[in-house]
Amino acid sequence: MKKLAKVLSLVMALVLCLALFSACGAEKDGGKEKLIMGTNAAFPPYEYYDGDKIVGIDAEIAALLAEKLGMELEITDMDFNGIISAVQNGVVDIGLAGMTVTPKRLESVNFSDPYAKGIQVVIVKEGSDIKAIKDLEGKLIGVQEATTGDIYSTDEFGEGNIKRYQNGAAAISALQGDIVDAVIIDNEPAKAFVKENKGLKILEAHYADEDYAIAVAKDNTELLEKINKALDELKADGSIDKIVNKYIPS
C-alpha cells in the first residue's frame, strides 16, 4: 500500500511537472508581443489571398521583420482608405500595403526607409485611342479609392473624370465593361491584372514613380527605429531581393 502511494505521488508529480512545462512553453509562444500589420489584400503581388491566407511580398517581408523583432505577426485586412488612420489610432502597429510615401501622408504617420519602388501606370483596352498620358484628358479614369493613382489623377484631370473603386480588381472590371476608359494603378498589380484579363494592355508611359515604405504611428519611434534596422539587415543579406524575385521573376 505504501509502495502504491509512493508510485502514485511520483506519477502525480510527473503530471504536474509536465503540465507546468507545457504551460511555460505555451506562455513563451503566446506571450510574444504582437506585431499587427494593416493591409489591403487585393494588391497582387504585394498582398493577396491564396485560399484564406494573405500572401505576397509585403506579407513575407512582414514575417521576416516580426521574426527579427521577436514578435508574432498578425495581418489585418482592411480598406486601403482606412490603413493610415488605423496606424494613427494604434489599431494596427504598421501599415504595409505597397504604400507610397507622400508628403500628405507624412503629416499623419511616419514612414520607414523605402523597401521597393512603384510606378503608376495606365491600363487601357487593346485598341483604345488612349495612347499617351495626354490622351486621358476628358476620359473617365478608374482608380482604387485613396491611392496615389486616385490622388494624382484627380488633381490632374479633375474630380469629374475619376471613378473610384474599392479595389483594383473592381476598377479593372469597370474597364472591361466600358464603364471607364482607363485605369491608373501601380505597375506590378497592373501586370497581374492584365495577365488575368484578356484584351487589356499597359501604356508604356509612366504616370508617376514612387517609393513604397512601412507606415508607423508618429509617436512610435521606437518601433520605427527597430524596423529600419531590421530592414537594413534584410536588404544587406539579400532577403528582400529574394522575396521580390520570388513574386516578380525578372
- Residue closer to ligand ARG (CB basis): 206 or 229: 206
* β-bridge pairing 200-202 and 116-125: antiparallel
Binding mask 118-157 for ligand ARG (x = CB under 6 A): x-------------------------x--xx---------
- Residue closer to ligand ARG (CB basis): 32 or 164: 164
- Residue closer to ligand ARG (CB basis): 100 or 112: 100
Whether omega for the bond prior to residue 44 falls within 30 degrees of 0, making it cis, is no
Residues in 187-246 at the binding interface with ligand ARG, rule: CB under 6 A: none
* Beta carbon of residue 146, minimum distance to ligand ARG (angstroms, whole number): 7
* β-bridge pairing 215-217 and 162-165: unpaired
* Beta carbon of residue 249, minimum distance to ligand ARG (angstroms, whole number): 21
| Choice from 60, 93, 186, 188 touching ligand ARG (CB under 6 A) | 186
Does 99 engage in binding with ligand ARG (CB under 6 A)? Answer: yes
What is d(CA 74, CA 63) in angstroms, rounded to the nearest whole number? Answer: 9
Binding segment for ligand ARG (CB under 6 A), chosen from 35-43, 70-78, 128-136, 214-222, is 35-43
What is d(CA 173, CA 22) in angstroms, rounded to the nearest whole number? Answer: 51
- Residue closer to ligand ARG (CB basis): 86 or 97: 97
Q: Give the total of residues touching ligand ARG (CB under 6 A).
A: 15
| Choice from 80, 111, 165, 193 touching ligand ARG (CB under 6 A) | 80
Instruction: Name the nearest CA neighbour of 206 among 136, 133, 140, 137.
Output: 133
Does 40 engage in binding with ligand ARG (CB under 6 A)? Answer: yes
* Beta carbon of residue 221, minimum distance to ligand ARG (angstroms, whole number): 22
Does 47 engage in binding with ligand ARG (CB under 6 A)? Answer: yes
What is d(CA 3, CA 9) in angstroms, rounded to the nearest whole number? Answer: 10
Does 38 engage in binding with ligand ARG (CB under 6 A)? Answer: no
Q: How many CB atoms lie within 10 A of CB 177?
A: 8
| Choice from 54, 86, 92, 97 touching ligand ARG (CB under 6 A) | 97
* Beta carbon of residue 37, minimum distance to ligand ARG (angstroms, whole number): 11
Residues that bind ligand ARG (CB under 6 A): 39-40, 42-43, 47, 80, 97-100, 118, 144, 147-148, 186
